C-alpha cells in the first residue's frame, strides 16, 4: 500500500472513522479514510525498528465520568487503544480496553453485549488476532449506529477522542524513532479542518464543556503543523510539537472528572 494514500492518522477504528457521521461526507470529499490496521501496519513497516505498541498508550481503565461529553471523548480514546492492543497482540491490555469500552458505551446508552466480548476474549487466548480485529470492527460499527441515533454530539466526540489518541500514539512513536516517509500518515490538513468543522457543529451545551472548548484552538495548531507541501515529510520538530499537543489533550481527556 502506498503510504501517500494514508491520509488519516491513528485510530480511524472502522466504524469510528469519519464515516461515523454517515456516508455523505465520504462521498462528497476525496478524503481517503483507511482502517486502523492499515495505518498501524504502515507505521510498523516504515519504522527503522519495530514499533513497541505496548508502550505507546496509557491504556487507562477509568470509566467513570460526570458528563456525556467527557464520557464520549474517553470512549473514543479507549476504542483506539483496543485496536493498539490488538496490533501489539497484548492479551491483558485488550481485555482491559474491551471491558472499559463496554462500560463507557453503556453510559452513553450504546450497550455492548457481554457475550460478544467473551467471544473475543476466547479468540485472544487462542491467538486469533485477525478474527479479533474483525469482531472489534463489527462491534464498533454497531455501537456507532446506536450513537448516531441517540446523540450526534456524543458521536462526534467519540470520533474526536479516537483521532486525538491515534495522533498521540503515532507521533509518540515517530518522535522517538523519526522516519520521514512515515510522516505521510499525519500530513492531512484538510482532515483536521473537517474535524474543526465538526467541533463547531456541536450543540451549545457540548461546546460549553471545558474539554471541548480547548479542542478547537489546539486543532488549529495541529492543522498548521501538518500543512506541509505534498510529497514532503512533516519535519521532526513539527512531529514533536504535535505529540506534545496531543499528549496534553489525552492527559486532560483521561484525567477529566
Q: Say what the pTM is.
A: 0.86
For 228-246, the pLDDT digits (tens) are 998 899 999 999 999 999 9
Average pLDDT per 10 consecutive residues for the chain, totaling 257 residues: 29 36 36 53 60 88 96 95 91 96 96 92 95 89 88 93 92 89 87 92 96 95 94 95 97 95
Q: What is the pLDDT of residue 9?
A: 33
d(CA 67, CA 214): 16
**b/e map 156-165, b = 16+ CB within 10 Å:** bbbbbbbbbb
d(CA 61, CA 48): 31
Nearest to 96 by CA among 107, 85, 105: 85
Give residue 131's domain range: 3-254
Residue appearing with cell numbers 505534498: 230
For 44-54, the pLDDT digits (tens) are 665 555 678 88
Nearest to 228 by CA among 7, 30, 46, 44: 7
Amino acid at each position: 500500500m502506498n503510504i501517500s494514500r494514508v491520509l488519516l492518522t491513528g485510530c480511524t477504528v472502522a466504524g469510528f472513522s469519519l464515516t461515523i457521521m454517515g456516508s455523505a461526507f465520504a462521498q462528497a470529499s476525496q478524503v481517503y479514510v483507511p482502517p486502523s490496521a492499515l495505518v498501524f501496519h504502515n507505521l510498523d513497516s516504515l519504522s527503522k525498528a519495530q514499533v513497541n505498541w505496548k508502550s505507546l498508550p496509557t491504556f487507562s481503565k477509568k470509566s467513570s465520568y460526570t458528563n456525556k461529553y467527557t464520557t464520549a471523548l474517553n470512549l473514543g480514546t479507549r476504542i483506539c487503544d483496543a485496536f493498539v492492543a490488538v496490533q501489539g497482540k497484548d492479551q491483558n491490555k485488550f481485555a482491559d480496553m474491551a471491558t472499559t469500552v463496554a462500560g463507557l458505551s453503556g453510559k452513553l446508552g450504546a450497550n455492548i453485549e457481554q457475550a460478544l466480548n467473551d467471544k473475543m476474549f476466547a479468540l485472544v487466548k487462542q491467538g486469533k488476532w485477525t478474527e479479533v480485529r474483525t469482531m472489534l470492527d463489527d462491534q464498533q460499527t454497531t455501537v456507532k449506529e446506536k450513537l448516531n441515533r441517540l446523540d450526534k454530539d456524543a458521536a462526534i466526540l467519540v470520533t474526536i477522542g479516537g483521532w486525538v489518541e491515534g495522533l498521540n500514539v503515532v507521533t509518540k512513536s515517530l518522535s522517538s524513532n523519526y522516519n520521514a516517509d512515515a510522516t505521510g500518515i499525519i500530513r492531512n490538513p484538510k482532515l483536521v479542518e473537517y474535524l474543526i468543522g465538526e467541533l463547531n457543529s456541536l450543540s451549545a451545551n457540548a461546546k460549553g464543556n471545558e474539554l471541548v472548548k480547548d479542542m478547537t484552538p489546539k486543532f488549529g495548531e495541529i492543522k498548521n503543523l501538518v500543512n506541509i507541501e505534498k510529497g514532503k515529510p512533516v519535519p521532526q520538530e513539527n512531529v514533536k510539537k504535535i505529540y506534545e499537543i496531543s499528549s496534553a489533550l489525552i492527559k486532560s481527556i483521561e484525567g477529566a472528572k
